[in-house]
Amino acid sequence: MLIPGLQGRWEWMRPAVDALARRHRVVSFSLCDERTSQFTCHPADGFENYVTQVGAVMDRAGLSSAAVVGVSYGGLIAADFAARYPDRVGSLVLASALHCGWRPNRSQQRFLNAPRLFGPVFAATAPGRMRPELTAAIPGMVPRLRFMAAQGVRMALAPPSPMRMARRVTWATKHAFADPRGVQARTLVLTGEPALDAVVPVQVTEQYMQELQSVERAVLSRTGHIGLVTRPDTFAEILGRFVDDARIPA
């Protein structure tokens, strides 16, 4: 089960979904406050909506348990679900995940205070922030342009809402998370390289290493935050080996 990040749409992860589906059954979804979602969202319940949704998705898919993969903001959802419903999580992957102790910095808080105003600025500056990672992951100019065009189409067809993104952060900062030390599932903490992740600092995700009972660590080389889409085959190989309980190459 693949849980999306702060933008909330599973379509942004399509390359990873396709790569994983060659070896495993993959279930993914958009967060329940997205207009395209088929799941109910009660704003008064805040972040709890997403934890409830994971269980509902599993029920609808006929799954008593699953390997749960949380990407970025989705890692908060995955870790909380795993701590609260250990019998439903066979294994857990936290990919460039936020930690429940994370709080937005001053720049991020400005966006959260006025998402409608700063959303376009954030979007306009994103290519510059992501350029080092894209260059490292996809060195060739033509393949890189091809990727950017394809990802641009996915984003255009599944546009993010700055207002909903800001609300999701607010919900997370107000949520009473379960203690991550309650996670019983084998866990993989997966990040890109520290110098290339311009979204979630690697040390934020690494906080889980100090708390979880059975945890492994892997780095998706030549990537930062979006390695699941820039290097989806390698991402799928690492996850597949972990889920199959095989050794992950260093």
Q: Give the residue extent of every domain in the chain.
A: 2-243
Q: How far is CA 9 from the centre of its chain?
A: 10
Per-residue confidence at 118, pLDDT binned at 50, 70, 90?
low
Distance CA 8, CA 160 (A): 7
pLDDT score of 58: 97
130, pLDDT greater than 90: no
Distance CA 54, CA 52 (A): 6
| CATH class, 2-243 region | alpha beta
pTM above 0.95, yes or no: no
Work out the mean pLDDT of the chain and round it to a whole number: 93
Per-residue confidence at 110, pLDDT binned at 50, 70, 90?
confident
Sheet holding 2-3, edge to edge: 2-3, 66-71, 89-95, 186-191, 215-219
Cβ atoms 218, 206 nearer than 8 A: no
- For residues 91 and 249, the model is more confident at 91
